[in-house]
Structure 1
Amino acid sequence: MKLWMLRLGFLPLVAADFGNWSLVLLEEAVQTRGAACLDGSPAGYWIEHGWGSGAKRWIIHFQGGGWCISYEDCLARSKTSLGSSLNFTAEKSKTLEYSDGGVHGYLSNQPEVNPDFYNWNKVFALYCDGSSRNSEVEGPVVVGQKEVLYFRGHRILMATMESLMETMGQGTGLATDLIVGGCSAGGLTVWLHLDYIRRLMPSSVRVVGLPQCGLFMDQPDYQGLEYFTPLYAHIFDMMGMIRSPSLDPGCLDKYSEEPWHCFMAQYVMPFVQTPYFAVNSFYDSERNLKDIMVKNVSQSAGSHSYFLYSCVSHCGYLNHDDGWRRLVVNGQSLRGAISAWYFHERIFQGAQVQEMPDENPTCHPYGIEIVV
Structure 2
Amino acid sequence: MELVISIVFVIAALLTCAASPGDRLLVNMTVVRSAAAIGAYCLDGSLPAYHIHRGFGAGARNWLLQFEGGGWCNDITTCADRAQTRRGSTRLMNQLETFSGILSNNASCNPDFYNWNRVKLRYCDGGSFVGDAMFDNGTLVLYFRGQRIWQSIIEDLLPKGLRFAKKALLSGCSAGGMASYLHCNSFNNYLPNATAVKCLGDAGFFLDAPDINMYHTQRTFFQHLVTLQGIEKNLDENCTNSISDPKQCIFPQYLLKYITPPLFILNSAYDVYQFHHILAPPSADSHGLWNHCKLNPKACLPEQIQVLQAFRVEMLTALRSFLFNSSRGGVFINSCFAHCQSESQDTWFALDSPQMYNETIAESVGDWYFGRNVSKKVDCPYPCDDTCHNLIGAV
The CA distance in 2 between the partners of 1:87 and 1:369, in whole Å, is: 28
Offset of 1:37 from its aligned partner? 0.5
Mapped pair 1:24 → 2:30: yes
Quick one: which amino acid aligns to residue 64 of structure 1?
G
Counterpart of 1:187 (choices 162, 177, 185) is 177
> What do residues 300-352 of structure 1 show as CA deviations (whole Å, max 9, x unaligned)?
3412111001100111x211222122211233321211121112353311112
Kept in 2, the 8 Å contact 1:309–1:351? The answer is yes
> What do residues 211-247 of structure 1 show as CA deviations (whole Å, max 9, x unaligned)?
1011111111234232111111111111111222xx2
Task: Identify the residue that residue 323 of structure 1 maps to in structure 2.
Answer: 347
Mapped pair 1:305 → 2:342: no
> What do residues 191-226 of structure 1 show as CA deviations (whole Å, max 9, x unaligned)?
111011101111121110011011111111234232
Kept in 2, the 8 Å contact 1:209–1:274? The answer is yes
Task: Identify the residue that residue 37 of structure 1 maps to in structure 2.
Answer: 42
Offset of 1:248 from its aligned partner? 1.3
Quick one: which amino acid aligns to residue 210 of structure 2?
P
Q: Secondary structure at the match of 1:238?
A: helix
Task: Identify the residue that residue 73 of structure 2 maps to in structure 1.
Answer: 68
Offset of 1:12 from its aligned partner? 9.7
Mapped pair 1:279 → 2:260: no
Quick one: which amino acid aligns to residue 250 of structure 1?
N
Quick one: which amino acid aligns to residue 124 of structure 1?
K
The CA distance in 2 between the partners of 1:121 and 1:87, in whole Å, is: 25
Task: Identify the residue that residue 100 of structure 1 maps to in structure 2.
Answer: none
Task: Identify the residue that residue 342 of structure 1 maps to in structure 2.
Answer: 369
Structure index of larger Rg = 2
CA 1:364–1:75: 2 relative to 1, 3 Å: closer
Task: Identify the residue that residue 236 of structure 2 maps to in structure 1.
Answer: 248
Counterpart of 1:270 (choices 241, 245, 257) is 257
Count of aligned pairs? 337
User: Structure 1: 5+ residue runs without aligned partners?
Assistant: 1-10, 98-102
Give the superposed CA RMSD: 2.2
The CA distance in 1 between the partners of 2:32 and 2:63, in whole Å, is: 19
Structure with more helix by fraction: 2
Quick one: which amino acid aligns to residue 309 of structure 1?
N
TM-score by length of 1: 0.85
> What do residues 1-56 of structure 1 show as CA deviations (whole Å, max 9, x unaligned)?
xxxxxxxxxx995224335x2321112211x1000001111001011111111111
CA 1:324–1:121: 2 relative to 1, 3 Å: same
Identity %: 31
Query: Taking CA–CA contacts closer than 8 Å with sequence separation of 6 or more, which of the two structures ends up with the larger relative contact order?
Result: 1
Task: Identify the residue that residue 209 of structure 1 maps to in structure 2.
Answer: 199
The CA distance in 2 between the partners of 1:37 and 1:12, in whole Å, is: 39
Kept in 1, the 8 Å contact 2:25–2:100? The answer is no
> What do residues 75-96 of structure 1 show as CA deviations (whole Å, max 9, x unaligned)?
11011111111123xx134xx3
Instruction: Write the mapping of 1:1-372 to structure 2, written as runs, cut at 5 A.
Output: 14-19=21-26, 21-30=27-36, 32-88=37-93, 91-93=94-96, 96-97=97-98, 103-137=99-133, 140-143=134-137, 146-168=139-161, 174-244=164-234, 247-255=235-243, 257-284=244-271, 285-286=274-275, 287=278, 289-301=311-323, 302-303=326-327, 304-315=329-340, 317-325=341-349, 326-352=353-379, 354-357=380-383, 359-364=384-389
CA 1:201–1:24: 2 relative to 1, 3 Å: same
Kept in 2, the 8 Å contact 1:12–1:320? The answer is no
More off after superposition, 268-277 vs 299-308: 299-308
Task: Identify the residue that residue 284 of structure 2 maps to in structure 1.
Answer: none
CA 1:345–1:198: 2 relative to 1, 3 Å: farther
The CA distance in 2 between the partners of 1:369 and 1:107, in whole Å, is: 24
Q: Secondary structure at the match of 2:241?
A: helix
